[in-house]
């Protein structure tokens, strides 16, 4: 059973860079077919997919955030990180890491989020 845990500051000043880490235990980050993902939820709002990096190092970002966002694997390969630059109050949200897992199903590869961290609330305020 893979367990994910977010960590990082709960308060970030406007215009600064928000940096978070997701620690992964109970599973390999090199598992084929897995995309290590960041998702956020602004207060009272729905779920917003931010981006992922894959087991072979491919990254993909939400187009609305792509110019400010970097997602990467840590050097220890037991965690991955999010860096969001030039933050504003609109970036205040619960940030969640998740595992996007691909499985063979009825002749296709089906992807879904099967494991989630508990989330970390980040407030952008001066």
Partner 1 sequence: DIQLTQSPSFIYASVGDRVSISCRASQAISLHLNWYQQKPGRVPKLLIYAASTLQSGVPSRFTGSRSGTDFTLTITSLQPEDFATYYCQQGHSAPRTFGPGTKVDIK
Residues 6+ apart with CB under 8 A from 75: none
DSSP 43-73: TT---EEEEEEETTS-EEE-TTTTTTEEEEE
Which of 18, 117, 120, 122 is in the footprint of partner 1 by CB under 8 A?
117
Q: How far is the CB of 86 from partner 1 (least distance, A)?
A: 20
- Can you tell me the distance from the alpha carbon of 6 to that of 120, in angstroms, rounded to the nearest whole number? 6
User: How many CA within 13 A on the CB side of residue 103?
Assistant: 7
Which of 5, 21, 27, 49 is in the footprint of partner 1 by CB under 8 A?
49
**Rule CB under 8 A: is residue 100 a binding residue for partner 1?**
yes
Q: How far is the CB of 74 from partner 1 (least distance, A)?
A: 22
Residue 35 CA to its chain's centroid (Å): 10
Q: Within 29-48, which residues bind partner 1 (CB under 8 A)?
A: 37, 46-48
- Can you tell me the distance from the alpha carbon of 80 to that of 74, in angstroms, rounded to the nearest whole number? 5
- Whichever of 68 and 111 has its CB closer to partner 1, that residue is 111
- Whichever of 12 and 51 has its CB closer to partner 1, that residue is 51
Q: How far is the CB of 99 from partner 1 (least distance, A)?
A: 11
Q: Which residues of this protein are in contact with partner 1, per CB under 8 A?
A: 37, 46-49, 51-52, 60-63, 96, 100, 105-106, 108, 110-114, 116-119
């Amino acid at each position: 059973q893979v367990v994910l845990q977010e960590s990082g500051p709960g308060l970030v000043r406007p215009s600064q860079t928000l940096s978070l880490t997701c620690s992964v235990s109970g599973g390999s980050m090199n598992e084929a077919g897995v995309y290590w993902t960041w998702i956020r939820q602004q207060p009272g709002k729905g779920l917003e997919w931010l981006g992922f990096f894959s087991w072979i190092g491919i990254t993909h970002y939400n187009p609305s955030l792509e110019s400010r966002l970097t997602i990467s694997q840590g050097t220890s390969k037991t965690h991955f990180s999010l860096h969001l630059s030039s933050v504003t109050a609109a970036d205040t949200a619960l940030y969640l890491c998740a595992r996007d897992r691909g499985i063979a199903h009825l002749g296709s590869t089906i992807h879904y989020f099967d494991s989630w961290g508990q989330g970390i609330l980040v407030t952008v305020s001066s």
